[in-house]
């Protein structure tokens, strides 16, 4: 029962955010970057449902574009981290021996950085931009994927159906492809879902610090950063972007829990 609720609620929340993002790519109520100083810091009323910011830009329009940016960054970052991590993890788990030891030593060293710190360091090198964030966060999260993939491969190798495949005379490569890889899909799906949430959170944190997507392009993170000085005078600026981040994360977390229940019979 709870499982269904997770799935439905999580799915609906994410669908709503994704729908907002999709709409933003074809239509927004106002131009999200058009400055109108006569209308600055207008409280939420009729044409500006969520008010305007310190440059008189429509908050709703900026929020919608922010959704599009946030989801795109999260999606591409997860794909980058997955591609990198799966490659490293499969190589390490498949070849074992010194390849495994070398790759995992490097991997563990990268995991010895808190993820966001590593991304901060990379951003120092790359410089703040949308694709810079994708690269930095993708590199920062890839070691976690590699770890899960390698762990799954190693534990699957011990399972009797893999041994049975070897006893049949199947080659190592065939066994890896036909029996090991498909069984890694479930844990990776769960991980990818969680990671999607982490990336949304990290991206908005970096943008909040001014190290993410640079203004004037709106993201939820940089909107919150810009709202901080107006906390007392224009409260609405601090509310809406946070609600959007929280809803996206809630949707992701609920969906992740549901997937875990469905795909992982242990819990």
Residues that bind another protein (CB under 8 A): 2, 105-106, 108-110, 112-118, 120-125, 159-161, 163-170, 178-179, 182-183, 197, 201, 204-205, 208-211, 224-225, 227-228, 231-232, 235, 238-239, 241-242, 245-247, 249-250, 252-254, 257, 267
Q: Are 225 and 208 in contact (CB under 8 A)?
A: yes
Q: How far is the CB of 209 from another protein (least distance, A)?
A: 5
Q: How far is the CB of 30 from another protein (least distance, A)?
A: 24
Q: Which residue, 30 or 203, is less far from another protein as judged by CB?
A: 203
| CA 10 to each of CA 14, 54, 84, 175: distance values in angstroms, whole numbers, following the listed order | 6, 34, 27, 36
Any alpha helices (H) in 2-129, and if so which ranges? 2-26, 59-95, 97-111, 115-126
Q: Which residue has the tokens 């410089």?
A: 127
| Other residues' Cβ atoms within 10 Å of the Cβ of residue 74 | 24
Q: Which residue, 35 or 264, is less far from another protein as judged by CB?
A: 264
Q: What are phi and psi of 58, to 5 degrees?
A: -70, 120
Q: Are 79 and 141 in contact (CB under 8 A)?
A: no
Q: Which residue, 49 or 161, is less far from another protein as judged by CB?
A: 161
Interatomic CA distance for residues 202 and 197, integer angstroms: 9
- Radius of gyration of the chain measured on its C-alpha atoms: 22
Q: What are phi and psi of 210, to 5 degrees?
A: 90, 10
Q: How far is the CB of 256 from another protein (least distance, A)?
A: 10
Q: How far is the CB of 80 from another protein (least distance, A)?
A: 18
Q: How far is the CB of 179 from another protein (least distance, A)?
A: 5
Q: How far is the CB of 132 from another protein (least distance, A)?
A: 13
Q: Which two tokens stand for residue 246?
A: 């929280």
Q: Which residue, 52 or 175, is less far from another protein as judged by CB?
A: 175
Q: Which residue, 30 or 208, is less far from another protein as judged by CB?
A: 208
Omega before 259 within 30 of 0, i.e. cis: no
Q: Which residue, 39 or 54, is less far from another protein as judged by CB?
A: 54
């Amino acid at each position: 029962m709870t499982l269904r609720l997770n799935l439905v609620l999580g799915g609906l929340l994410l669908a709503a955010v994704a729908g907002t993002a999709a709409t933003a790519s074809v239509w927004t109520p106002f131009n999200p970057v058009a400055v109108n100083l006569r209308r600055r810091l207008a409280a939420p009323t009729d044409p500006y449902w969520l008010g305007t910011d310190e440059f008189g830009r429509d908050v709703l329009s900026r929020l919608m574009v922010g959704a599009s940016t946030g989801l795109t960054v999260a999606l591409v970052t997860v794909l980058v981290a997955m591609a990198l991590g799966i490659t490293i993890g499969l190589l390490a788990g498949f070849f074992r021996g010194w390849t495994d030891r070398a790759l995992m030593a490097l991997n563990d060293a990268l995991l010895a950085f808190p993820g966001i710190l590593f991304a901060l360091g990379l951003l120092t090198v790359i410089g703040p931009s949308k694709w810079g964030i994708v690269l930095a966060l993708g590199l920062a999260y890839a070691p976690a994927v590699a770890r899960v993939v390698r762990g799954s491969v190693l534990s699957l190798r011990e399972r009797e159906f893999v041994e049975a495949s070897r006893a049949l005379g199947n080659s190592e490569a065939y066994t890896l492809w036909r029996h090991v890889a498909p069984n890694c899909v479930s844990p990776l799906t769960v991980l990818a879902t969680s990671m999607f949430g982490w990336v949304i959170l990290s991206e908005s944190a970096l943008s909040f610090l001014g190290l993410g997507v640079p203004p004037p392009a709106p993201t939820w993170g940089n909107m919150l950063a810009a709202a901080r000085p107006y906390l007392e005078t224009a409260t609405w600026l601090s509310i809406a972007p946070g609600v959007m981040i929280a809803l996206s994360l809630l949707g992701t977390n609920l969906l992740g829990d549901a997937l875990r229940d469905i795909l992982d019979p242990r819990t």
